[in-house]
Structure 1
Amino acid sequence: MAVGPLVRRYRIGCNGPVKRLHPAWLVAAVAFVALVGAAGFRATPGVLIHPLHDEFGWSLGTISLAVSINLLLFGLTAPFAAALMERFGIRRVVAYALLLVSAGSGLTVFMKHSWELIALWGVLVGLGTGSMALAFVATVTGRWFVKRRGLVTGVLTAGGAAGQLVFLPLLALLTEAHGWRSAALTVAGAALAVVPLVMWRLRDHPADLNVAPYGSADVVPPPVATGGAARRALGALRTAAGKPAFWLLAGGFAICGATTNGLIGTHFIPAAHDHGMAEPTAASLLALIGLFDIAGTIASGWLTDRMDSRVLLGWYYALRGLSLLVLPMLFAATVRPSMLVFILFYGLDWVATVPPTVALCREHFGASGPVVFGWVFASHQFGAAIAATATGLLRDRLGNYDLAWYIAGGLSIGAAALSLLLFKTRRAAPVAAPAMAATPA
């Protein structure tokens, strides 16, 4: 039976064919909500750094350590999240992940010591949000879509990145008006509110509803749950680690994480506050980055289909580095046009690196490309974790963030060089993609 652009025909009784939205789009919509929420939950520390410092007297380095552990676990959980979803189901894993996020955020209102912040924000929220990272996107799109897979992957990826930023103004206003505990409880309540939606609509596999994936005519049986998924992930890492391309990709993506989540995502608001800017205003600027990020990521995916991914990565990292080198001159108590130009440019570049990096993983590692990308993404979060802590320590030692911006700018230019070095590891012939990925989108 024919599949239209967004609908599938069903016959009900004797009333003839009725057009209904294919359930894959409902699953994608719920996944989008969970991803935006998960990203928003991880955005909370950027708003609360100064309030926690003021109330408890903890150094910015100590608070940044909790953020770093969160970022690190977010990345390290990703390669294994797919294994958990294969064994226990997408719906169950995401529901438990949301409960972890809710507990980690809600219990912070009772904390008295810095180790509790590390355990709650760092460990619980890190594990919870890590279970809803890019592995979640790959699993949903791989199971539910044949056509439009690239488009849905781009939208979900952009939504996850943007969600980390669009919640910031609300959380900043809540913190300013009612204290940081109101923001923490809001995050906890929001995570709990998504759980019923996940249990209601986030199905594990199209076969559970006796329908084919979107764009296919065949109902595919659900995969047999096995205990070997984690072992395969580790095996892919061992194989990839023996190739220079993996280290070039991982090194560049580690710098990408350091200069986005670790630096801008964690320390932009405190840095703006140091120059007299109100925290809600600074949070609104980060929210604008999230909005521009959607357009930038989709455009990057379009360019990846038409240009060499190495060239794209080289340009993305080099331009990011130049923008970071001028950022210290743009901070002021009020928002100037030059800062808005930076926000626009940085937003377009925020996760534009993802589509070409995924494409290069597929080119260099063939059918193992998605799993290898999970490990490359882990390096992204490792870089973010180091940058979050190191930047906080620099701020404690020097009293300002200027050196951190200059170091990040230099590292980004270095990442551009790593990307261009990938030309030396270029494969003589493209590796054939898996059968499912070869289906026309």
Structure 2
Amino acid sequence: MRHTTGNIRARLGHRAWWVAAVTATTIVVAGAFSTMPGVLQGPLQRDFHWSRGSIGLAASVNMVLYGLTAPFAAALMDRFGIRRTVLTALGLVAGGAVLTTGMDAAWQFTLFWGLLVGLGTGSLSMTLATTVANRWFTERRGLVTGFLASAGVLGQMVFLPALSWTIDHHDWRPALVTLALAALATALLARLALSDHPADTGQRPYGSSVFVPRPPPVPGAARRALTVLRDAARTAPFWLLAAAFAVCGASTNGIMWTHFAPAAHDHGMPVTTASALLALIGVFNVAGTVAAGWLTDRLDARRLLAVVFTLRGLLLVTLPLIMSATVTPPMMAFVVLFGLLDLATVPPVIALCRRFYGDDSAIVFGWTNAAHQAGAALAAFLGGVARDTFAGYDPVWVVLGAACAVAALLALTVRRTGPRPATALRPGRQAVAVRRTRC
């Protein structure tokens, strides 16, 4: 009994859990930055008389860089280490926030917020979570991935009310300074507690029965990110996962976070009420993503991904039938279920990237995440066009529901059928580790 209790304490006290906690804190702070363009629109229009298009350009640049930076950040972590990459990224977001407080032209907002903050938050996205989970965990990888995936949404939930209150009572500049200070405090925490690899602390990865030596740094981070993309693009699983994840982005970030409130307002619901429903979706995101990570450790990731897409598609198709001016029980059921499914695709997609691409899975996932952001941007744009064309969003929900059905079929067909590529490549380049799997 004493031996069992001591073993449990030792496992819970493993350094991997502390690294995961610091990583989660970092992702929480990075997630808070993504909420700012929406709450800044009114104050910036009032102070500078900028158009929504000018303000939206900075947000668009930020979103694009968020997606494109991720695979290069994963390569930088292999070259310079997790801690150095995280500290640099937190410095970028803090600097971008501080510089934004002194801007007086729209192009400066695009430069400071779109470029600097976009690069920083893109480096602190799910590729960070993937890299930490791959290096520090052999067991519980799915659970840890789900926990870290939910951290970004948790950051929005934690910071958004406080930032909105600060803007209402003190102006928008103190809110940005608050974010910058949070980033700097997190940087100090990462400097003290974040380690690059279990071997640095003399420990094995959590759940591993053998000691894993730290791999040597991989030079040429940018070249490696592009090389991994080239090699992965020669395999069918990459395109299937990228296409499915693009549908994921279109059916969540792209349409829900951009057009749900206007669509509800078309049915007579106040925008404040619709925004509250979106916040509730964010609340259930956390539970859904952690649950998806737990299930990924136990079930076939392809089938789990297909089930999530199928259920999400059914919910979107039924949305026109339950939209109303008030919050009804069917609408609350939609909010709960959609929240549980919103980010539930992330752990199985990461698991599939790991299965097929091994040590390069973090970079490959970064490129699939870029497809996710592209799908989100396309849906955000075409959703507005559809609203202008059809005077409503009903066709949009139906089309995206059908797209989710297609994504479910794509998930079920993900498999490696070609020969395993050679692993002995010229120095400075790692092979794409693709496992031949009969699923």
| TM-score (structure 2 length as normaliser) | 0.81
Q: Are the aligned partners of 2:130 and 2:145 in contact in 1 as well (CA < 8 Å)?
A: yes
Q: Does 1:373 align with 2:365?
A: yes
Matched, 1:107 2:79: no
- 2:396 corresponds to which residue? 407
Q: Output one character per residue of 1:270-295: Cα deviation in whole Å (capped at 9) or x when no partner.
A: 7668867465x655433322221122
Q: CA deviation at 1:159?
A: 1.9
Deviation at 1:351, TM superposition (A): 0.8
Q: 1:317 aligns with which of 305, 309, 333?
A: 309
Conserved in 2, the CA contact under 8 Å of 1:317 and 1:413?
no
- 2:229 aligned with 1:226: no
Which residue does 2:204 correspond to in 1? 212
Cα shift at 1:326: 5.2
State which drifts further: 236-245 or 306-315: 306-315
State the 1:97 CA deviation: 0.9
What are the residue-to-residue correspondences of 1:420-439 with 2, within 5 Å? 420-421=409-410, 423=412, 426-427=415-416
Contact 2:246 2:372 in 1 (8 A): yes
Match of 2:244 among 252, 269, 287: 252
Whole-Å separation in 2 of the counterparts to 1:330 and 1:103: 45
Match for residue 298 of structure 1?
Answer: 290
| Separation (CA, whole Å) in 1 of partners of 2:383 and 2:55 | 11
Match of 2:7 in 1: 4
Q: Is the 8 A contact 2:254 2:377 kept in 1?
A: yes
Question: 2:428 is matched with which residue?
Answer: none
Contact 1:26–1:201 (Cα < 8 Å) also in 2: yes
- Deviation of 1:398 after TM superposition, in Å, equals 7.7
Secondary structure, counterpart of 1:4 in structure 2: helix
Pair 256,49 (structure 1): closer, same or farther in 2 beyond 3 Å: farther
Q: Which residue matches 1:126?
A: 118
Structure 1, unaligned runs of 5 or more? 9-19
User: 1:335, 1:182 → 2: CA distance?
Assistant: 34
Q: Using the alignment, how far apart are the partners of 2:262 and 2:163 within structure 1?
A: 14
**Which amino acid letter does the alignment assign opposite residue 405 of structure 2?**
A
1:246 and 1:213 mapped to 2: Cα distance?
A: 27
1:18-57 equivalence runs, <5 A: 21-57=13-49
Deviation, 1:427, is 4.2
The counterpart of 2:234, out of the listed 228, 236, 242, is 242
Alpha-carbon displacement from aligned partner over 1:34-91 (angstroms, at most 9, x marks no partner) = 0111112112223333443454444434433322221221121111112212222211
Q: Is the 8 A contact 1:71 1:384 kept in 2?
A: no
Q: CA deviation at 1:332?
A: 6.9
Q: Is the 8 A contact 1:245 1:422 kept in 2?
A: no
Name the SS for the 2:204 alignment partner: coil
Query: Partner letter of residue 168 of structure 1?
Result: L
- Contact residue 172 and residue 283 of structure 1 kept, 8 A: no
Q: Would the alpha carbon gap of residues 50 and 178 (structure 1) be closer, same or farther in structure 2, given more than 3 Å must change?
A: same
Structure 1 contact 364–431 (Cα < 8 Å) conserved: no
- Within a 5 Å distance, the mapping from 1:272-291 to structure 2 comes to 277=270, 279=272, 283-291=275-283
> Corresponding residue for 1:263?
255
Paired residue total:
420
CA deviation digits over 1:220-277, x for unaligned, max 9?
Answer: 4332223145433322321232344432321221121233233333455676688674
Task: Show the counterpart of 1:349.
Answer: 341
Matched residue SS, 1:167: helix
Residue 319 of structure 1 and its aligned partner are, at CA, apart by: 3.5
**1:193 matched to which residue of 2?**
185
Matched position secondary structure for 1:213: coil
CA deviation after TM superposition for structure 1 residue 22, in Å: 2.4
**Contact 1:171/1:183 (CA < 8 Å) preserved in 2?**
yes
What is the rounded CA distance, in whole Å, between the counterparts of 2:156 and 2:419 in structure 1? 35
The question of 1:203 aligning with 2:195 is answered yes
Distance 1:272 1:185, change over 3 A: farther
Q: 1:119 to 1:324 in 2, by over 3 A?
A: farther
Q: Compare 296-305 and 102-111 and name the one that shifted more.
A: 296-305
Q: Please state whether the residue corresponding to 1:110 is helix, strand or coil.
A: coil
Distance 1:207 1:95, change over 3 A: same
Q: Relative to structure 1, is the Cα distance of residues 183 and 338 closer, same or farther in structure 2, using a 3 angstrom cutoff? A: farther
Could you say which residue in structure 1 is the equivalent of 2:427?
Answer: none
Kindly report the root-mean-square deviation, in angstroms, between the aligned alpha carbons of the 2 structures.
3.6
> Which residue identity does 2:18 align to in structure 1?
L
Query: What TM-score do the two structures reach when normalised by structure 1?
Result: 0.81
2:199–2:211 Cα contact (<8 Å) kept: yes
Q: Distance in 2 between matches of 1:87 and 1:79?
A: 13
The 2-side partners of 1:57 and 1:394 are apart by 28
Contact in 1 for aligned 2:146/2:291 (Cα 8 Å): no
In terms of mean alpha carbon deviation, does 222-231 or 96-105 score higher?
222-231
The 1:319–1:215 alpha-carbon spacing in structure 2 relative to 1, beyond 3 Å, is closer
Distance 1:196 1:211, change over 3 A: same
Q: Separation in 2 of the partners of 1:360 and 1:217? A: 23
Following TM superposition, by how much is the alpha carbon of 1:380 offset from its aligned partner in structure 2, in angstroms? 0.7
- The reply to whether residue 83 of structure 1 matches residue 72 of structure 2 is no
CA distance in 2, matches of 1:321, 1:49: 32
For 1:58 and 1:322, the matched residues in 2 are separated by 40
> Any stretches of 5+ residues in structure 2 without a counterpart?
422-431
Alpha-carbon distance in 2 for matches of 1:286, 1:172: 15
**Deviation of the 1:379 alpha carbon:** 0.7
- Aligned-pair CA distance for 1:365: 4.8
Is the 8 Å Cα contact of residues 237 and 416 (structure 2) preserved in structure 1? Answer: no
Question: Aligned partners of 2:205 and 2:410: how far apart in 1?
Answer: 39
